[in-house]
C-alpha cells in the first residue's frame, strides 16, 4: 500500500505503515525511490481498485468484517482494528479469499 505523508507541496508518497499521520491511497503499480533525488523528481502510479492484501496474524480481519473499515499494519498487511488509534485506515473490507487474504477497496 502507498500512503501520502505531509500536505500540499510538501506531500510525498511513502509505503503505508503504522503511522496515523499517513493517508493510505491505494497500491503502488511500481517501485520508486527518490531518497537521493530532488523533491518531486520521481513519481509513482497507484490504483484505488480492490487489491488483495495480507491479513494480520495478530488482529485478523474475518468474513463478518466485510463492509467494515480495515487498517494498514504495514505496506502489505491489513488489520481488523486501528490498534488503539495507532494504525491508519486502509480502506473497506470487500471480501476474504480462501487463503484468508483480504480484498480491500481503497477510498
CA–CA distance, 56 with 100 (Å, rounded to integer): 10
Tens digit of pLDDT for each residue in 22-47? 999 999 999 888 777 777 788 889 99
What is the DSSP pairing of strand 51-55 with strand 77-79? parallel
Q: State mean pLDDT over 58-74.
A: 98
DSSP state of 8: G
Residue with cell 480462501: 98
pTM: 0.90
Average pLDDT over residues 61-66: 98
Amino acid at each position: 500500500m502507498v500512503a501520502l505523508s505531509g500536505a500540499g507541496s510538501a506531500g510525498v508518497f511513502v509505503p503505508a505503515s503504522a503511522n496515523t499521520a499517513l493517508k493510505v491511497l491505494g497500491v503502488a503499480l511500481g517501485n520508486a525511490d527518490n531518497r537521493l533525488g530532488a523533491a518531486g523528481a520521481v513519481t509513482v502510479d497507484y490504483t484505488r481498485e480492490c487489491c488483495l492484501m495480507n491479513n494480520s496474524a495478530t488482529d485478523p480481519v474475518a468474513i463478518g468484517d466485510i463492509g467494515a473499515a480495515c487498517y494498514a499494519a504495514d505496506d502489505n498487511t491489513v488489520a481488523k482494528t486501528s490498534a488503539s488509534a495507532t494504525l491508519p485506515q486502509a480502506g473497506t473490507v470487500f471480501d476474504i479469499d480462501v487463503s484468508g487474504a483480504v480484498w480491500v477497496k481503497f477510498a
